Amino acid sequence: MDEEDILQECKAQTKRLIEFLVKPEVMEELVDLITHEPPEDVDEKVRYKYPNVACEILTSDVPQINEALVRSKPLMAKLLGFLDNEPPLNPLLASFFTKTAGMLVSRKADSMLCVCMQRENLVPQLLRHIETSAVMDLLLKFVACAESEALRASITQWLDGARVVQQLVALIDPACSEEKHSNAAEALCEMVKLSREQMSLLQEKAPPDPLLETLESTETVTELLDHMFSGDRTCESVFVNGISVLLALLEFRKQG
């Protein structure tokens, strides 16, 4: 890990280095580095040096590393287990985690979806950390994944079945923090945008999008309005972010 040119050699896919890196015990150490707090007695200047290098290696887009990571149930359990931590997440570790998981969503989408679907509490775990913007970005990475129509259909069905829209709307509530209001609203707006763009691109060939149907449903809009105007007083943050979601729905309906 101290070799200055390790990342260059990794990206160049130097055979001996890659063979070493994909050993199960080495992969386990790399994942540990990006998901566990480094020792507190280490100098702050170098405390995150190794986790950063580990993240760069794991996201260097080397096919053998991608495959070694996603095909290993223990490694994927360890990686996704990062979400078991109590909020708020360490911002740096969260960025390492989401960069690695996001790369797998982009490069090994089918395999990653299978892993995620087997983890029943994944969506609630993601939303529990919605205050961390990097986690919100990872959620949207799934929505934006359009490797194929069949894959996108599987992803939207999975997310809709997990009631991701309803759970996001529930976070735009006076009882939640302003950061949750903002990130939940942004996620909903992006979902509308991404789903609409996909429908527009495919036009009459576009398959039904259950996620978009839920976003546009009367039930969703009614629930959002209830949060915006519930209680004895209106919460400004809930109102502002709720309006942004309603405007996104109206805007894309108009364009459609």
Class of residue 24 by CB neighbours under 10 A (exposed 0-12, middle 13-18, buried 19+) = exposed
Same domain, 158 and 200: yes
Which pLDDT does position 179 carry in this prediction? 96
CB 152 within 8 A of CB 146: yes
Same domain, 94 and 155: no
Residue 245, classed as helix, strand or coil, is helix
Which pLDDT does position 111 carry in this prediction? 95
Same domain, 196 and 253: yes
Query: Helix %, strand %, coil % for the chain, to 5?
Result: 75, 0, 25
Residue 158 sits in which domain range? 148-256
CB 127 within 8 A of CB 140: no
Same domain, 8 and 91: yes
Angle CA 65–69–70, to nearest 5: 120
Which residue ranges in the chain fall short of pLDDT 70?
Answer: 1-4, 147, 231-234, 252-256
| Within-domain flag for 132 | no
Which pLDDT does position 200 carry in this prediction? 84
Same domain, 188 and 81: no
Class of residue 211 by CB neighbours under 10 A (exposed 0-12, middle 13-18, buried 19+) = buried
Place of tokens 């149907």: 213
